[in-house]
Structure 1
Amino acid sequence: MKIPNFSIPLTEIALQKNIQLFVKREDLIDPKISGNKYWKLFYNINSYLKQNLENPFIITFGGAFSNHIAATAAVGKEFGLKSLGLIRGEELEGKWQDNPTLNLARKNGMEFRFVTRAAYRDKAALTQILQEEFPGALLIPEGGTNELAVEGIQFMLTEETKSFDYLCTAVGTGGTVAGISKFAEKNQKIVGLRVVKDDSLYNSVLQFSGRDNFKLLDADENGYGKISDQNVRFINNFKGKYGIQLDPIYTGKMMQKIFELIDENYFPAGSRILAFHTGGLQGIFGANEMLQKQNRESINL
């Protein structure tokens, strides 16, 4: 994987307040390995490829609509690596063809193992089994978050990002916000918008970052993967007004929460805010299938 030889654009979101809001379009970095997933895999893949193993093999974990699963499969195809995904939910076995994310991952060469939710929660036991079965494989955690992933996030920060007072990102497993926190300027404040209820996230981010320059705020009270009609309307209105596609799991909820915080005067007047668009747009297809089955409004593409 290479550092792109082009600048990721910063797009201003015009507001009627004395605050400047920009979006850094990390979703444009690569059509298949977009957003923060590119940078979280950057050092993991490059370090692994340097070993010049005879049969390189990537193994990782994820749910049915995981951006990380999709990105890892795409990386495997691009670099000629076999890939295996441990997928949460044994009920998906035999039905993965109907799942847009898993279907895409399989087209990129990923094999699957479907495990029960109880077994999936015990990642340590699963990891030990896999290490014994595939001793030369690269095992990447769920969501791609590990020390190498956090190091890779530094490339999301550039000379252009140094002028902002607040750096905002959606938070799932915490690797992205940890990397932003670790490599941000001393005067910058980091705001992580959580889309998952996990009380251990703060300590995890602090351990990876080593700095206490961040806050974690809840971006959604409906629960991870739950999509409200209000969120769908916000995503569609945002795209119509600003021309930027958001996803319903991460960036849509992040941006909606940022707008709420601005309305609540969370950010002081004159603040310059940068929100990172971390990709994940492939998840819209699965979300729309669910919304259509429920006779609800879909996300405009």
Structure 2
Amino acid sequence: MAQITSLREAVSGLIQDGDTVALEGFTHLIPHAAGHEIVRQGKKDLTLVRMTPDLIYDQLIGMGCARKLIFSWGGNPGVGSLHRFRDAVENGWPHQLEIEEHSHSGMANAYVAGASNLPFALLRGYTGSDLPKVNPNIRFVECPFTGEKLAAIPSVRPDVTVIHAQKADRRGNVLLWGILGVQKEAVLAAKRAIVTVEEIVDALEAPANSCVLPRWAVSAVCHVPGGAYPSYAQGYTERDNRFYKAWDPVARSREGFTAWMERHVLGTEDFDGFRRVLAESQKETA
């Protein structure tokens, strides 16, 4: 059952070194605040999972939190590469990163299989792709009914899934809307789930056919307004495109990245502190 608690307490109590952790969100509702708290607490040896790892994964990898990445497509949306991700893969800095790459459809099906308590996912895909040559976890099986060749991949079952959402009620039920990726499936597939939210209300007042995560599927709800920044939360905040552009030169060098993280993340107590220091640094460079 969900407990309403601070993000610091949730990360400390629910994420352990060596865990498999999924921080999911698609275009918006990306849980940056939670990612920063993982960095502050120095979590390490994590297997990180995400359909489209972007800036927060670049930061987690660059700070040495990750041992392995299970993913489909990684990059700075609309800008280019994730330089800390590339440095880890190509040069082993800050240490070697193991990768397991899938297609988008493969990852989505793997989450669905995990949420369905199945050991693997089946899909029509990967045929003609080079991914099976580099990913031994992509295998092929014959359908017992038609003889058709189908791809099989392991289900994704995180120890912890972390998402950002718009609302939770005081009992811990969560409502999210807008562009949804695999947040629902990722939460249902996980042993534990942390949800940061824009606001906590007395009643969700969810319209029909809304995506509502029941409190029994959530471990912790944390009130973190703006916790998806620089991505957005529909109905609450807008995407900061300038941040995505500004991240590219920051992340290109190890020294620049480390200095930025020390000032903006390690040097701040929480996400509100991060936003204040970021505003100061933006004024300095304006």
Say yes or no: TM over 0.5: no
TM-score (norm 1): 0.31
Higher strand share: 2
Q: Which has the higher helix share?
A: 1
TM-score, with length taken from structure 2: 0.32
